[in-house]
Every structure is written in structure tokens, then in C-alpha cells.
Amino acid sequence: DIQMTQSPSSLSASVGDRVTITCRASQGIRNYLVWYQQKPGKVPKLLIYAASTLQSGVPSRFSGSGSGTDFTLTISSLQPEDVATYYCQKFNSAPFTFGGGTKVEIK
């Protein structure tokens, strides 16, 4: 089965900083990569699908890129409301494995 590895597992950044989270697949998954945001105590929310397509209603400071095995989620200017754990998920075929998550905090 394909493994999904996220890095870093956590990060602390200042408001306004550019934040980058990486997700690596152990085998190619074309662009079948999804990003979710889970705020503390809340249900996960879809941010980006097909590696780079922003879900309706998601702020434009979020962007995704990549294809094959290496993917990136970028927050162009970190805001206090972005404090959350971010997960990637492969969606090319079952098993639809998640990455381990990246916890984002404000410095």
C-alpha cells in the first residue's frame, strides 16, 4: 500500500508568515491528493482537492501544488484562525490513506 508522509509534524510561525507543509507519497498518485484542515475540537474541513483546486469558500491564502509523489500546501500569510492540524489524503484508489498531520501554531 502507498504510504503518505507529512512534514513537519508541527510548526510555529508568526502572523503574516508564509507557511509550507509537505506531503510525500511512497508511489505516484498523479494529482489525486486532498488537503483538510481540522481546528481543535472540530470536524475536518476540505481545503484543496486534485492537489491544487481550492474548495469553494476557502480563503485564497491557501494553495496547493504538486503531482506524482511530492505535494505542498502553502498558507501565504498565516492568520490566527489558521491554527489547526492539516492532513493530506491520497484519493487515487483505496486504501485512501491519510498523512500523519501537521499541527500549525502561532508563535
> Binding residues for another protein, per CB under 8 A?
1, 32, 34, 36, 38, 43-46, 49-50, 55, 85, 87, 89, 91, 94-101
State which residue, 62 or 87, has the beta carbon closest to another protein.
Answer: 87
Q: β-pairing, 102-106 with 10-13?
A: parallel
User: Minimum Å distance from CB 67 to another protein?
Assistant: 14
Contacts of residue 27, Cβ cutoff 8 Å, sequence gap at least 6: 2, 69
Cα atoms in the Cβ-side hemisphere of radius 13 Å centred on 72: 9
State which residue, 3 or 77, has the beta carbon closest to another protein.
Answer: 3
